[in-house]
Amino acid sequence: MAYLEVLPRPDRFGADIVGLDLHNRPHDVEAAELDRLIDIHGVLVIRGQALDHASLVGFSRRFGEVVVHQVAEYLAADHPEVMILSNNVEGGRPVGAPNNGIFWHSDQIFRRRPVAYTLLYGHEVPPEGGDTLFADMRAVHDDLPAALRDELAGRRAMHSFAVSYQKNYIAAAPLTPERRAANPDIGHPVLRTHPRTGRRAVFVDPDSTSHILDMDPQRSAALLDLLFATLEQPNYVYRHRWRQGDLVIWDNRCLMHRATGYDNSTHRRVMWRTQVAGDEPF
Ligand code: OGA
Ligand code: MN
């Protein structure tokens, strides 16, 4: 076992992991150790990697079943498990999915079984901009006033792929009725319990959550606005400033995240993304 250093962020959640070469020695770290670290920190940053599609997919499998993304336009030809994200255009064709994830969200929240983990690799990153923000929804939950937590306990909220698709895939073809029907709106608990740690987290997102079920619509909208405003508060947010070769892994069951913009007329940002299956939230 190689020497592995875990550097928790002193002022924020998340940790850097130092001492790994995931392309050449992916088994220097045991899967159980990775799971344990991500349970604690929520987001792990492993800098200085030299991955290709195969080694990214291979490493992603350490976390569970890798799920092919349902938006097929931007999957890597050699490894469909890898989705390419980019706002750049080459020869008139998009390099990858543009404007992906610019609203706060938890990946695939609108599926019956949303993904547990996402892995994002900085293949090409801009010198400035294009940061990824993460919000700790465990802390948001724990800091809620007791009366509000009681009001939300046992409630479910509705999430819509169609709403999210419209916002995120502005350059892609409009959603066909078939694809819309294949991704029906879905309800999940507003306060979700993490299946491994037992910790609760707020599980609604401004990307695709439409309303809280069985609640007066005005009250539902007011509560969602309050939760969305809360999660953006700087004390809940870690900003990841990318360097080329960074691999970032996060747990969608307890974090929200969002992309930020960059100047794609002068800079390139090309990210490789995989996602790992999760369970039905409870
Ligand atoms: C994602 C995502 C954010 C980013 O890949 O799920 O939200 O900064 N990406 O690219
Ligand atoms: Mn995302």
Q: Look at residue 267 and tell me whether its pLDDT is greater than 90.
A: yes
CB–CB of 188/203 below 8 Å?
A: yes
Cα separation, 272 vs 79, whole angstroms: 11
- pLDDT tens-digit readout, 104-119: 999 999 999 999 999 9
Give ion ligand 2 contacts, CB < 5 A.
Answer: 101, 107
What average pLDDT does range 141-168 have in this prediction?
93
CB–CB of 201/256 below 8 Å?
A: no
Quickly count: other Cβ atoms within 10 Å of residue 128's Cβ.
11
Q: Look at residue 2 and tell me whether its pLDDT is greater than 70.
A: no
**Ligand 1 and 108: CB distance under 6 A:** no
**Ligand 1 and 85: CB distance under 6 A:** yes
Which residues have C-beta within 8 Å of that of residue 179, sequence separation ≥ 6?
none
What average pLDDT does range 20-25 have in this prediction?
94
**Ligand 1 and 132: CB distance under 6 A:** yes
- Which of 49, 62, 52, 121 lies closest to 86 in space, CA to CA? 121
End-to-end CA distance of the chain: 36
What average pLDDT does range 173-194 have in this prediction?
92
The type of residue at 205 is D
Which residues have C-beta within 8 Å of that of residue 207, sequence separation ≥ 6?
101, 103, 104, 105, 109, 163, 164, 167, 168
Cα separation, 131 vs 238, whole angstroms: 10
What average pLDDT does range 72-83 have in this prediction?
96
Length of the chain measured in residues: 282
Q: Look at residue 167 and tell me whether its pLDDT is greater than 90.
A: no
Percentage of residues in the chain with pLDDT exceeding 70?
99
Bridge partners (DSSP) of residue 248 are: 45, 120
Percentage of residues in the chain with pLDDT exceeding 90?
85
Model pLDDT, residue 1: 53
More confident residue, 175 or 114: 114
In the chain, how many H helices and how many E strands?
A: 7, 17
Q: Look at residue 170 and tell me whether its pLDDT is greater than 80.
A: no
Q: Which two tokens stand for residue 132?
A: 């990824």
Residue 252: which pLDDT band, with cuts at 50, 70 and 90? very high
CB–CB of 49/246 below 8 Å?
A: yes
What average pLDDT does range 90-110 have in this prediction?
93
What average pLDDT does range 152-156 have in this prediction?
98
Residue 179: which pLDDT band, with cuts at 50, 70 and 90? confident
**Ligand 1 and 133: CB distance under 6 A:** no
Model pLDDT, residue 270: 98
Q: How far is CA 155 from the centre of its chain?
A: 23
What average pLDDT does range 67-85 have in this prediction?
95
Question: Atom 1 (ligand 1): residue with closest C-alpha?
Answer: 101
What average pLDDT does range 45-72 have in this prediction?
96
What average pLDDT does range 252-281 have in this prediction?
97
Model pLDDT, residue 163: 81
The type of residue at 141 is H
What average pLDDT does range 35-56 have in this prediction?
97
Model pLDDT, residue 212: 97
What's the whole-number average pLDDT of the chain? 95
Which residues have C-beta within 8 Å of that of residue 150, sequence separation ≥ 6?
none
**Ligand 1 and 271: CB distance under 6 A:** yes
Q: Look at residue 228 and tell me whether its pLDDT is greater than 60.
A: yes
Please identify, by atom number, the ligand 1 atom nearest to the C-alpha of residue 273: 5
The SS3 assignment for 166 reads helix
More confident residue, 118 or 169: 118
